[in-house]
């Protein structure tokens, strides 16, 4: 008898779509039904996610995608991570009296990336017109959608702040001065008008029309509205003082999304593909490289041994992320060493029966100063102290801080997309008047000190946490991902290990109890370090929790069903398609036939 799962694993042959909101998944499926391919469906799904999960992503946010084209037979990464403005120098921020880049407001803004990324995907790999794929989002923004309780709560919590500090946000998120009630019909007519105007731009061909819309965004009415607002805007942010943006018209005009090769690693016969080190993607590959030397398959997938070894491996991999990762276009990243067998054999030896309370980046020859700098940073004043004082009730990023969405799509021809859009959160930046959406706050990923791969420098990409995944083995192909900031590669790793070593089904693995470490330095303002802390769902059982505590882990037991927001889709060699979505937060859904 098969194990009970919270919902069926979706199976079919025609197509599957899974995302962090049921409406977006359904819209993606409707595009496949109309004859669109996975790329058309991904774009349509993404624009609807901007409407229905505005606390988690927006058109001026950022987006990495990893995709497989049946036409080319290649796995590629689409990088829609906007870069630092030309005027955003460390000196400029220090002149404002800052030691950290604020996590909200206009100083934290980099070039908006998501819209151009989706346009690039649609132009080069899609088949439908911009109007066809964006119309569902226009309809939901104009006519309304049932607002998620989490969105309603986020807005309610900020209503006074918006009316006092960010009136343009108040106008959109609290129409007539009222925050929307949970599940109420919510409309964003300005956003609908923006999308509609972009879809109305003309061009002699499908591709030319999409490029015309990109130009309209970059240098036309969208850019004009943004810079008309920014020229006078001086707004409050999380630093408790007012600042102006550094973004300039030339920054937007000069940037476009791009393609690059993925970084790949072999594990148990699977080739796992991730983004390069401008995102945290390689950290999952590093963790796999460390874990290669353990007999995970002999452990209980929910037992203390498994949790302990995986947590300790992640702590080591994440310490290396903090020391060495950054934009490879601007810094030398010793990735060949970080993924090498020799290096990870040494890393593996550091895992003992006890939890480590140290930050332990590896020592890469020629890069030792970066390891030392990380240890020093982590020890500074970012340690948040006792577990008790910090006991969070939810496992993912706070609603005020913003999170992320994810989507996976496979069509009947075998095209596959995994994308993790984020940024442009309603709670972290004021709405641009007339456009219906805010800018992003991704610059908070940088440090205001020289000489690091993550030092703030003009035109570089923030080392983002966004990290979709693609894995393949003997004709099986798998796309997956999750929101969750620093937890993204932790939850994906755990789910993937259980899938590979224990044969758990896609849905079964998502329903299994999840956990993550908070030991390393956080990517988001205020860059907390929570030494030896791990969060775990209670359904692993009290014995496992007690065992972990006996090994020195500071265990925070999460509320039931609150850790992880995974979705995944898979294609078997015979063309059978499978998909699943987490039941947590009661939003994500997989559809297919």
Per-domain residue ranges of the chain: 43-258+424-445
Give me the pLDDT at residue 305, please. Answer: 98
Task: Copy the structure tokens of residue 38.
Answer: 């996975």
Phi-psi region of 97 (alpha: psi -120 to 50; beta: other; left: phi over 0): left
Q: What pLDDT, in 10s, does the model give residues 265-319?
A: 999 999 999 999 999 999 999 999 999 999 999 999 999 999 999 999 999 999 9
Q: Output the DSSP codes for 182-230.
A: TT-EE--HHHHHHHHHHHT---SSHHHHHHHHHHHHHHSHHHHHHHHHH
> Residue 234: which pLDDT band, with cuts at 50, 70 and 90?
very high
Give me the pLDDT at residue 102, please. Answer: 93
Residue 145 class from Cβ within 10 Å (0-12 exposed, 13-18 middle, 19+ buried)?
A: buried
Give mean pLDDT, residues 80-95: 97
Q: Would the pLDDT of 566 be above 70?
A: yes
Q: What pLDDT, in 10s, does the model give residues 101-138?
A: 999 999 999 999 999 999 999 999 999 999 999 999 99
> Residue 526: which pLDDT band, with cuts at 50, 70 and 90?
confident
d(CA 75, CA 581) in angstroms, rounded, equals 23
Task: Return the exposure string of 344-374: e unless at least 16 CB atoms fall within 10 Å of the residue's CB, then b.
Answer: beebbeebeeebbeebbbbebeebeebbebb
Give me the pLDDT at residue 524, please. Answer: 86
Which residue matches tokens 């694993």?
9
User: Higher confidence at residue 460 or residue 524?
Assistant: 460
Nearest to 325 by CA among 315, 317, 313, 333: 333
Give me the pLDDT at residue 399, please. Answer: 42
d(CA 352, CA 304) in angstroms, rounded, equals 13
Round the average pLDDT of the chain to a whole number and report it.
94
Give me the pLDDT at residue 203, please. Answer: 95
Q: Would the pLDDT of 391 be above 60?
A: no
Give me the pLDDT at residue 573, please. Answer: 97
Give mean pLDDT, residues 422-428: 93
What percent of the chain shows pLDDT beyond 90? 93
Compute CA distances 472 → 19, 276, 501, 569, 572, whole Å.
21, 18, 15, 12, 10
Q: What pLDDT, in 10s, does the model give residues 471-525?
A: 999 999 999 999 999 999 999 999 999 999 999 999 999 999 999 999 999 888 8
> Residue 351: which pLDDT band, with cuts at 50, 70 and 90?
very high
Give me the pLDDT at residue 525, please. Answer: 85
Give me the pLDDT at residue 390, please. Answer: 36
Give me the pLDDT at residue 546, please. Answer: 98
Give me the pLDDT at residue 401, please. Answer: 57
Q: Would the pLDDT of 400 be above 70?
A: no
Q: Would the pLDDT of 389 be above 90?
A: no
Quick one: DSSP state of residue 405?
Answer: -
Q: Would the pLDDT of 396 be above 90?
A: no
d(CA 519, CA 355) in angstroms, rounded, equals 10
Which residues lie below 8 Å from residue 357, measured CB to CB, with a gap of 6+?
531, 532, 552
Q: What is the pTM of this model?
A: 0.96
For residue 546, how many other CB atoms are within 10 A of its CB? 11
- Cα dihedral 298, 579, 270, 282 in deg (nearest 10): -100
Evaluate whether 317 touches 283 at the Cβ level (below 8 Å): yes
> Residue 3: which pLDDT band, with cuts at 50, 70 and 90?
confident
Q: Would the pLDDT of 86 be above 60?
A: yes
Q: What pLDDT, in 10s, does the model give residues 32-63?
A: 999 999 999 999 999 999 999 999 999 999 99
d(CA 452, CA 458) in angstroms, rounded, equals 14
Q: What pLDDT, in 10s, does the model give residues 250-264?
A: 999 999 999 999 999
Give mean pLDDT, residues 177-185: 96
Give mean pLDDT, residues 359-363: 96
């Amino acid at each position: 008898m098969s194990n009970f799962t919270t919902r069926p694993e979706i199976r079919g042959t025609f197509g599957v779509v899974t995302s962090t909101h049921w409406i977006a998944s359904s819209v993606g499926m409707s595009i496949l039904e109309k004859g669109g391919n996975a790329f058309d469906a991904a774009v349509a799904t993404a624009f609807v996610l901007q409407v229905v999960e505005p606390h988690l992503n927006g058109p001026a946010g950022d987006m990495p995608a990893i995709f497989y084209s049946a036409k080319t037979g290649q796995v590629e990464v689409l990088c829609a991570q906007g870069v630092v403005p030309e005027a955003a120098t460390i000196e400029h921020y220090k002149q404002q009296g800052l030691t950290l880049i604020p996590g909200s407001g206009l100083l934290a803004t980099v070039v908006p990336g998501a819209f151009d990324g989706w346009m690039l995907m649609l132009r080069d790999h899609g088949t439908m017109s911009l109007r066809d794929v964006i119309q569902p989002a226009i309809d939901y923004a104009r006519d309304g959608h049932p607002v998620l309780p989490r969105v309603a709560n986020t807005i309610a919590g900020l209503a006074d702040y918006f009316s006092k500090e960010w009136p343009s946000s108040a106008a959109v998120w609290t129409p007539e001065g009222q925050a929307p009630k949970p599940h109420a019909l919510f409309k964003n007519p300005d956003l609908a008008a923006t999308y509609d105007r972009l879809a109305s731009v003309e061009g002699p061909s499908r591709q030319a029309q999409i490029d015309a819309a990109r130009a309209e965004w970059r240098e036309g009415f969208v850019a004009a509205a943004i810079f008309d607002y920014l020229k006078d805007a001086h707004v409050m942010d999380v630093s408790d003082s007012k600042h102006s943006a550094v973004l300039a018209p030339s920054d937007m005009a000069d940037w476009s999304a791009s393609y690059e090769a993925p970084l790949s690693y072999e594990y148990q016969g699977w080739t796992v593909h991730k983004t390069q080190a401008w995102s945290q993607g390689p950290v999952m590959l590093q963790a796999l490289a460390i874990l290669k030397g353990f007999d995970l398959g002999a452990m209980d997938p929910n037992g203390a041994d498994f949790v302990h070894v995986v947590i300790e491996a992640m702590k080591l991999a994440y310490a290396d992320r903090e020391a060495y990762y950054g934009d490879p276009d601007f810094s030398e990243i010793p990735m060949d060493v970080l993924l090498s067998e020799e290096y990870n054999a040494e890393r593996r030896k550091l895992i003992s029966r006890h939890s480590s309370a140290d930050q332990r980046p590896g020592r890469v020859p020629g890069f030792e100063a970066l390891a030392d700098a990380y240890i020093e940073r982590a020890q500074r004043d970012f340690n948040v102290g006792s577990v008790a004082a910090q006991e969070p009730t939810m496992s993912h990023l706070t609603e005020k801080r913003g999170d992320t969405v994810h989507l996976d799509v496979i069509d009947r021809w075998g095209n596959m997309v995994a994308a993790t859009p984020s940024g442009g959160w309603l709670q972290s930046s004021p709405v641009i008047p007339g456009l219906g959406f805010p800018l992003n706050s991704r610059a908070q990923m940088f440090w205001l000190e020289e000489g690091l791969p993550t030092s703030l420098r003009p035109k570089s990409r923030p080392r983002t946490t966004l990290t979709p995944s693609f894995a393949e083995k003997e004709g099986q192909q798998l796309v997956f991902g999750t929101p969750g900031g620093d937890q993204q590669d932790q939850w994906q790793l755990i789910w993937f290990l259980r899938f590979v070593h224990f044969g758990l089904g896609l849905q079964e693995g998502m329903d299994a109890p999840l956990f993550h470490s908070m030991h390393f330095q956080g990517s988001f303002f205020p860059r907390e370090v929570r030494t030896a802390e791990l969060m775990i769902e209670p359904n692993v059982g009290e014995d496992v929790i007690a065992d972990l505590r006996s090994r020195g882990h500071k265990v925070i037991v999460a509320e039931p069903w609150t850790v992880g927001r995974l979705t995944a889709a898979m294609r078997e060699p015979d063309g059978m398609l499978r998909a699943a979505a987490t039941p947590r937060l009661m939003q994500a859904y997989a559809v297919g036939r």
